[in-house]
Amino acid sequence: MSVAGLKKQFYKASQLVSEKVGGAEGTKLDEDFKDLERKVDVTSKAVVEVISKTSEYLQPNPASRAKLSMLNSMSKIRGQVKNPGYPQAEGLLGECMAKFGQELGEDTNFGGALVDAGESMKRLAEVKDSLDIDVKQNFIDPLQGLCDKDLREIQHHLKKLEGRRLDYDYKKKRQGKIPDEEVRQALEKFHESKEVAETSMYNLLETDIEQVSQLSSLVESQVQYHRQAVQILEELSDKLRDRMNEAQSRPRREYTPKPKPIFDFGDSDQSNGGYTTSVAPPSTCNSEPSLISFDPARLPFRKSRLPSEPPCCKALYDFDPENEGELGFREGDIITLTNQIDENWYEGTLHGQSGFFPLNYVEVVVPLSN
Phi, psi at residue 272, to the nearest 5°?
60, 25
Whether 251 shows a pLDDT value over 70: the answer reads: yes
Could you give the CA distance from residue 327 to residue 200 in angstroms, rounded to a whole number?
43
Q: Which of 1-5, 179-183, 321-325, 331-335 has the highest mean pLDDT?
A: 331-335
Is-contact 342 67, C-beta < 8 A? no
| Mean of pLDDT values over 292-321 | 65
Write out pLDDT tens, residues 121-152. Answer: 999 999 999 999 999 999 999 999 999 999 99
- pLDDT, residue 11, reads 73
Q: How far is CA 1 from CA 4, 6, 167, 207, 251, in A?
A: 8, 7, 17, 39, 95
Is-contact 357 345, C-beta < 8 A? yes
Could you give the CA distance from residue 164 to residue 173 in angstroms, rounded to a whole number?
14
- pLDDT, residue 125, reads 92
Write out pLDDT tens, residues 197-248. Answer: 999 999 999 999 999 999 999 999 999 999 999 999 999 999 999 999 988 8
- pLDDT, residue 249, reads 84
Q: How do beta strands 261-264 and 276-279 pair?
A: antiparallel
Helices (H) and strands (E) in the chain, counts: 9, 7
Q: Is the pTM of this model over 0.75?
A: no
* CA 11 to centroid of chain Cα atoms: 49
| Mean of pLDDT values over 110-115 | 93
Write out pLDDT tens, residues 12-58. Answer: 788 788 777 777 788 889 999 999 999 999 999 999 999 999 988 98
More confident residue, 284 or 94: 94
Could you give the CA distance from residue 197 to residue 37 in angstroms, rounded to a whole number?
9
- pLDDT, residue 19, reads 74
Q: 219, 201, 190: which is closest to 153 by C-alpha?
A: 201
- pLDDT, residue 293, reads 42
